[in-house]
Amino acid sequence: MFSNQWHSENVPTWDKFFDAFDASKVLEIGSYEGQSACWLIDKLAARHPLEIHCVDRWDSIGAYSAGLNPKPGDMDEVEQRFNHNLDKAILSAPHPVTVGIHRGESWREMMHLIVQLGAGYFDFIYIDGSHLAFDVLTDAVLAFKLLRPGGFMCFDDYIWGDGSNFLASPKLGIDGFVNAGISVMFKVLPTPCTQVFLQKVCE
């Protein structure tokens, strides 16, 4: 039960990517209704047990920072749809799925995950939360700590922008991360301009 098809345009790229790469531990920053999380469950839990952690604020502040314009009560309904959609995907998965749901600011929740699970825990991390440049950069730095060497990160909405706010641009945050002097620690994969895939080479 989804109110949009935002993830559908990414499916051809993701299908090709996950045909060549496997992941058993996944972190998603920005879940909304669970469309991408459900896709990951359908794809990866068809092969083996999967552990997936979903981080989202599910409130109006988080929605505004992601470029949305919610009405009062909208995000409560979005969170309910997320829970419904995830439960449905888990029930239909051929292998067990362990889910961690983390409701709060992404930087705070990732710091907790670093303490609880340790650095280098995840095989794949998807970043599609706040679209403010500084938030995207913060998410990237913390996610990098949580990603294992050889694992992959994917950023969504690379060319998305809010014409009224120069700083509401994921591209600025992503470019800042890539160009911050640590590019020797990962490599950028050739992908469509709407998303950016990185592979972690070393700490």
pLDDT the model gives residue 4? 66
Whether 41 is covered by a domain: the verdict is yes
pLDDT the model gives residue 70? 58
Whether 4 is covered by a domain: the verdict is no
pLDDT the model gives residue 65? 56
Look up the pTM and report it.
0.91
pLDDT the model gives residue 10? 82
Whether 97 is covered by a domain: the verdict is yes
Whether 16 is covered by a domain: the verdict is no
Question: Domain holding 103: CATH number?
Answer: 3.40.50.150
Whether 11 is covered by a domain: the verdict is no
Q: What angle do CA 151, 179, 149 make, to 5 degrees?
A: 15
Whether 43 is covered by a domain: the verdict is yes
| SS3 state at 121 | coil
Give the containing element (helix H, strand E) for 125: strand 122-127
Domain that holds residue 29: 23-200
pLDDT the model gives residue 93? 97
Q: Provide the number of structural domains found in the chain.
A: 1
pLDDT tens series, the chain, 203 aa: 766 666 777 888 899 999 999 999 999 999 999 999 999 999 999 999 999 999 998 886 555 555 556 555 677 888 999 999 999 999 999 999 999 999 999 999 999 999 999 999 999 999 999 999 999 999 999 999 999 999 999 999 888 776 667 678 899 999 999 887 566 788 888 777 789 999 998 76
pLDDT the model gives residue 48? 97
Per-residue burial over 137-162, b = 16 or more CB atoms within 10 Å of its CB, e = otherwise: bbbbbbbbebbbeebbbbbbbbeeee
